[in-house]
Structure 1
Amino acid sequence: MFGRLGAPEIILILVVIILLFGAKKLPDMARSLGKSARILKSEAKAMKDEGSNTAATPAGPPTPGEQPPAQRTIQAAPGDVTSARPVTEPTDTTKR
């Protein structure tokens, strides 16, 4: 019953979506969806890179002369400097 969607049904669904949201809001919604997808992709890549870096070099206790890690900037999308924010890396604060 609901398994087959033909061209007339898809066109009807698109017309209903345009009527509900308006033609003005659809490009903004598509833009924000694309931006969210780029953010998710970049964060997933950063997590994968970070995971492979920590697996290659085991973390040991810091030496007294060791510098703390530099501050990184996470950007929402390539070239999008309006939503970039500096972050500090978490440090191990447990005392042994």
Structure 2
Amino acid sequence: MIHQITILFIGAAEIMVILLIVVLVFGADKLPEIARGLGKGMRQLKDASNDIKQEVTKSAKENNILDKDVTKNVQEEIDKIKDDLEDFTGSLKRNK
């Protein structure tokens, strides 16, 4: 059995064609610079999203919005509902 690499519904052949076009347009000597720039951009985006997440969490803690007891109770209720659904659907599932 042959396994193909699929990323975002793009096969290996399509990725190779895209890479060939990138090499033809920018040249092989510019690829490391482009990759470095993309890496820095992705790192900055990740850092910015982490900063936003920390600010939201900090603000929630300051305003007493973040209540672990409430989230724990909600999670327990969700788990109970999941168990009830599994019990109900267990009798409806087909045996293969």
More strand by share: 1
Give the structure, 1 or 2, with the largest relative contact order (CA under 8 Å, sep 6 or more).
Answer: 1
Determine which structure has more spread, i.e. the larger CA radius of gyration. Answer: 2
Q: TM-score, normalised by structure 2?
A: 0.48
